[in-house]
Chain A
Amino acid sequence: MPDWGKEIRALLEGLRLDPTREGEIVEELSQHLNDRYEELLAAGTSAGQAHRSVMEELNSGRLTAELQPLLHPAPQPIVLGQDERANPLAGLWRDLRYGARLLRLNPGFALVAILSLALGIGANAAIFQLLDAVRLRTLPVRDPQELANIPVVYHPNGRTGSFSSPNPQLTNALWERLRDQQQGFSSIGAWSAQKLNLSQGGEARYANALWVSGSFFATLGTHPILGRLISPADDQPGCGSSEAVISDSFWQREFGGGASVLGQKVTLEGHPFEIIGVTPAGFFGVEVGRNFDVALPVCAEPTVMGERESALRNPQGWWLAAIGRLKPGWTVERASAQLAAISPGIFEATLPAEYDPTDRKNYLQFKLGALPAASGISELRKEYENPLWLLMGISGLVLLIACANLANLMVARATARQREMAVRLALGASRGRLVRQLLAESLLLAVVGALCGVGLAQALSRLLVSFLSTQNTHLFIDLTPDWRVLVFTAGLAILTCLLFGLTPAIQAAGTAPGEAMKATGRATTAGRERFAVRRGLVVSQVALSLVLLVGALLFVRTLRNLVTLDAGFQRDHILINDVDLSPLRIPVANRVAYKQELLARTRAIPGVISAATARVVPVSGNGWNDNISIPGTTVQRKIADFNRVSPGYFRTVGTPLLAGRDFDDRDTAASPQVAIVTEKFVKKFLAGSNPIGRTFGVVQQGGKPDRIYQIVGLVRDTKYNDLREEFMPIVFVAEAQDDSPDLEAQFMIRSDAPLTDLIPAVKRTIAEVNPAMVLNFSVFDTMIREGLLRERLMATLSGFFGFLAAILAMIGLYGVISYMVARRRNEIGIRMALGADRSSIVALIMQEAGTLLGIGLTIGTVLALIAGSTASALLFGLRPSDPWTLTMAALSLAAVAAAASFLPARRAATLDPMQALREE
């Protein structure tokens, strides 16, 4: 019988039919031809003739042409491994869809993967967003790259005078000369930030005020959304309390955003200012991290400060900062050169008359210079830029650990899918094609993880900002994500995808199809090389986690050291009441007595244990220092910190009096000037000898003779500026002997009663004397804690990241050890059958875990020592290589690791050897 099927198939070939349909047609037509052939034979035709006739019939008609429109060709089959060279991205969508299906089938894996990526990427993006906002973003003004800041860039021995405002770069005299003589800037403006009281008597309510020169807004190119801005015409010497411009947020908050705000008054420190305009939303001045409420012309400063010392009139008052817009064609360098050239003339002309010869010589060496200011000026940046970069590094490590964990999971999955890969390879897929397929799956995870991460970052960065804001300083940071944040996150997603996807992909593509197909289920999961990769990943995880744990412990201990540090005073149960007496216009001669009267009344409040006044509250950020000389010694013009306190101060703050006496009623304006000094003072200036009865002089400005003090008491060392500093020599002088008392009194009140309950009583007491006084309360302990924000931030975040890293590493270790137990089931079964007891099996597994841990910890210790040096500036009271910290971190990691590997070890030990062997 001829093979009709072959002939028919040859005819149908061009139609490219679906194989099933083609088979049916071939079968049906063959039968037909067969029947016809037999019929012809039966009729007596020869076989050869019959065959010819049948073939003629088959070829006579137009079978293919007739069938063509009837039968659809089969869809193009998916040939795995077919490289679509014309378009390398072709089929990517298919890969992604396939990946998505696989993830849907395995929701547990997908959830863990996406969650860990979202956390890792989210933390990185959040910190980057903050860095972007405080460091990288340019000011929201016209052509910010043309702006430059103009400070005194050269001052080899520091500057002398009184410093106010967050950026005390220039005095008013310097600013005026600079404005008139500079050539590099088409426009130049000055500003200074200060808190001014909005309320009239009673408890103070502060507005963030900005003193601005007439050209400030024009220099920045800012236009009002309502009314007009301050212009040079508004900033004329002696302008008094005149016009004010308010910010959009203040307008909304205080005036409900109504247009009728123009012409209304805003009262600052008791002086009414007429509102002439509103700045646009988003404009915050030039200082990143600080918004302003009210902008006032610089010329109004003396009026507002009233009887208090005006910075504008003080030739030594450093309080302004300048910003200029470069002329076309001028660079920062060229402008700097011009500023350097005019500096000698400017400093000569502005030399404060009261400076002594040393200060004069120093002052005349100063040089002005220009610094790029496209991204503004920020104290916040100085304080937080390094910690943020460090946190970024830490969160980067966490992401790396998360990637290692994922890579581990993916390798395990790839191992389980080895047969699938083998089948694909056998069907003709290229290895590159397999890598792409697996990378597409990783990419899918990375993209979903990154999207969740971006959402998380928004919440996290806002949380961080609220963490850094305190009651007194509200951080103003624009956190809307810009292109940098988006590019950063997208980059992270791609990087992580490559990090955790590439190794397993390359491994899977390296599958030997023949062996994988032949092998049994158990054998396909073996492979020494593959397991080595997983162990390597765990070792790196352990090492990185140790680095993070060490970091976390260092920062936590730094914070602890600062919190528990013996500062020489007791921080709790002290309320500070800062009273502004200026509305009362008390004559100088009566001021001391008035303050003493207020103190006596405060002491009489029920619940008050003791109270005292202090010019400088310790570690508040305020300070006062002077040069001292001790007659007949080498101690000449040595700097010492000063404070002016009332009797009872040491009892109130809990600083022990070691010798001599406290100030008392004997010390009056008429009696000899007395002082109490600290141990450090004695050690440094008196060579440790008994200080009581000794005298020293305080250098006076303007060529006046030194003022002589007699030491009557010795107290323990206390911190002055900062908890982190070494103890400094401090001189306490008596409030009662103040010959130029100001109109401010700071009361420190110790009480056993809850301090919030004490405030109303203090308010009432002060108001009974005179309700016009303005009060500002703060709690000493809270103030100190807020001063430790940076340390708290580092401790909290690095602690959290360290914890996260340890957990991730332990999950990785658990996975690898579990896998190893599964892989060695038979071996363990044989060992047990040959008489190994359970404890030796546990020991076997734990030994494996111990090896990984040991290698990881060793590498981690080296890394931690290297990484620690970058953090040393942020530590307090311990070195980065602190052995106790290293040991604690290693021990705690080892303990968790032991727990993580004990579970699989116990599972191995409770294995039924018979069952394990039967499975072989």
Chain B
Amino acid sequence: MTYMAPKVFDRELKKGSAELLILSLLEHRPRHGYEISKLIEARSEGVLRFNVASFYPLLYRLEQRGFIEGRWVEKAGQRRRRYYRLTPQGRKMLKEQRSIWRDFVNAMNQITGAEHA
């Protein structure tokens, strides 16, 4: 078993979970980057927060792997913004990740919850 420093663990966990978060936020509609990051912050009630420097590399990585797709959208009276939406491949990925997380969280809960029960 490899020893992982708490800080590194924190970052990797965040990154892994962040990808799932981003994908799920794009499940029903396309959103731009700032909107996604605000939603993550809001829905986690401030627990999860990404700053611009760590968030966009994540986004671009997902785009490069073909899970999401960004395109510039111009709306009347506004500056153009880059909206991201899920690709079919991303949708499949989301489904898989979701069930893994569900199993993982259940397992964690069973272990940690049982101790406290």
To the question of whether A and B form a pair in one complex, the answer is: yes
A interface residues with partner B (beta carbon < 8 Å) = 24-25, 27-29, 31-33, 35-36, 57-63, 66-67, 70-71
Chain A residues positioned under 8 Å from B52 (CB to CB): 29, 32-33, 36, 57-58, 61, 63
Q: Are A31 and B54 in contact (CB under 8 A)?
A: no
Give the shortest distance, in Å, between B34 (CB) and chain A (any CB): 5
Chain B residues positioned under 8 Å from A35 (CB to CB): 34
Beyond A31-B81, A70-B61, whether A62 also contacts B53 by CB under 8 A is yes
Query: Nearest residue in B to A54 (C-beta to C-beta)?
Result: B52
Q: Are B54 and A61 in contact (CB under 8 A)?
A: yes
- Which of B34, B54, B72, B79 is in CB contact (< 8 Å) with A32? B34
Q: Number of B residues contacting the other chain (C-beta, 8 Å)?
A: 18
Listed residue (B33, B37, B57, B61) with the most chain A CB atoms within 10 angstroms of its CB: B57
Give the shortest distance, in Å, between A56 (CB) and chain B (any CB): 8
Give the shortest distance, in Å, between B31 (CB) and chain A (any CB): 13
9 A-B residue pairs with CB within 8 Å: A31-B79, A58-B53, A60-B54, A61-B51, A62-B53, A63-B53, A63-B54, A63-B57, A70-B61
Give the shortest distance, in Å, between B70 (CB) and chain A (any CB): 8
**Per-residue CB proximity of B45-68 to A under 8 Å, as 1/0?**
000000111101110110010000
Q: Are B56 and A63 in contact (CB under 8 A)?
A: yes
Q: Are A24 and B51 in contact (CB under 8 A)?
A: no
Confirm or deny: B82 has a beta carbon within 8 angstroms of a beta carbon on chain A.
Answer: yes
Chain A residues positioned under 8 Å from B61 (CB to CB): 70
Cα-based distance from A25 to B81 in the complex (angstroms): 11
Q: Are A31 and B34 in contact (CB under 8 A)?
A: yes
Beyond A28-B33, A31-B34, A31-B81, whether A71 also contacts B51 by CB under 8 A is no
Q: Are B56 and A32 in contact (CB under 8 A)?
A: yes
Chain A residues positioned under 8 Å from B60 (CB to CB): 67, 70-71
Cα-based distance from A127 to B79 in the complex (angstroms): 76
Chain A residues positioned under 8 Å from B34 (CB to CB): 31-32, 35-36
Give the shortest distance, in Å, between A911 (CB) and chain B (any CB): 53
Chain B residues positioned under 8 Å from A24 (CB to CB): 72, 82
Cα-based distance from A669 to B34 in the complex (angstroms): 135
B interface residues with partner A (beta carbon < 8 Å) = 32-34, 37, 51-54, 56-58, 60-61, 64, 72, 79, 81-82
- Which of B54, B64, B79, B81 is in CB contact (< 8 Å) with A66? B54
Give the shortest distance, in Å, between B69 (CB) and chain A (any CB): 14
Query: Nearest residue in A to B80 (C-beta to C-beta)?
Result: A27
Cα-based distance from A619 to B19 in the complex (angstroms): 106
Query: Nearest residue in A to B37 (C-beta to C-beta)?
Result: A32
Cα-based distance from A29 to B70 in the complex (angstroms): 14
Chain B residues positioned under 8 Å from A60 (CB to CB): 51, 53-54
Listed residue (A25, A31, A32, A61) with the most chain B CB atoms within 10 angstroms of its CB: A32
Cα-based distance from A310 to B51 in the complex (angstroms): 117
Cα-based distance from A29 to B59 in the complex (angstroms): 12
Cα-based distance from A8 to B58 in the complex (angstroms): 17
Beyond A32-B33, A70-B60, whether A61 also contacts B53 by CB under 8 A is yes
- Which of B33, B57, B81 is in CB contact (< 8 Å) with A67? B57
Chain A residues positioned under 8 Å from B82 (CB to CB): 24, 27-28
Give the shortest distance, in Å, between A384 (CB) and chain B (any CB): 75
Query: Nearest residue in B to A11 (C-beta to C-beta)?
Result: B53
Chain B residues positioned under 8 Å from A29 (CB to CB): 52, 56
Chain A residues positioned under 8 Å from B64 (CB to CB): 70
Give the shortest distance, in Å, between B50 (CB) and chain A (any CB): 8
Query: Nearest residue in A to B50 (C-beta to C-beta)?
Result: A61
Cα-based distance from A135 to B111 in the complex (angstroms): 102
Chain B residues positioned under 8 Å from A33 (CB to CB): 52
Known: A33-B52, A63-B56. 11 other contacts (CB 8 A): A25-B56, A29-B52, A58-B51, A59-B53, A60-B53, A60-B54, A62-B53, A66-B57, A66-B58, A70-B60, A70-B61
Cα-based distance from A714 to B107 in the complex (angstroms): 141
Cα-based distance from A27 to B74 in the complex (angstroms): 13
Chain B residues positioned under 8 Å from A59 (CB to CB): 53
Chain B residues positioned under 8 Å from A62 (CB to CB): 53-54
Chain A residues positioned under 8 Å from B56 (CB to CB): 25, 28-29, 32, 63, 67
Cα-based distance from A33 to B37 in the complex (angstroms): 12
Cα-based distance from A71 to B63 in the complex (angstroms): 11
Listed residue (B51, B53, B61) with the most chain A CB atoms within 10 angstroms of its CB: B53
Query: Nearest residue in A to B51 (C-beta to C-beta)?
Result: A57
Chain A residues positioned under 8 Å from B54 (CB to CB): 60-63, 66
Give the shortest distance, in Å, between B32 (CB) and chain A (any CB): 8
Chain A residues positioned under 8 Å from B32 (CB to CB): 31
Query: Nearest residue in A to B79 (C-beta to C-beta)?
Result: A31
Chain A residues positioned under 8 Å from B51 (CB to CB): 57-58, 60-61
Q: Are A57 and B53 in contact (CB under 8 A)?
A: yes
Query: Nearest residue in B to A61 (C-beta to C-beta)?
Result: B53
Query: Nearest residue in A to B56 (C-beta to C-beta)?
Result: A29
Chain B residues positioned under 8 Å from A70 (CB to CB): 57, 60-61, 64
Give the shortest distance, in Å, between A220 (CB) and chain B (any CB): 78
Query: Nearest residue in A to B70 (C-beta to C-beta)?
Result: A28
Chain A residues positioned under 8 Å from B72 (CB to CB): 24
Give the shortest distance, in Å, between B37 (CB) and chain A (any CB): 8
Chain B residues positioned under 8 Å from A31 (CB to CB): 32-34, 79, 81
Chain B residues positioned under 8 Å from A36 (CB to CB): 34, 52
Cα-based distance from A277 to B93 in the complex (angstroms): 88
Listed residue (A25, A28, A33, A57) with the most chain B CB atoms within 10 angstroms of its CB: A28
Cα-based distance from A33 to B56 in the complex (angstroms): 12
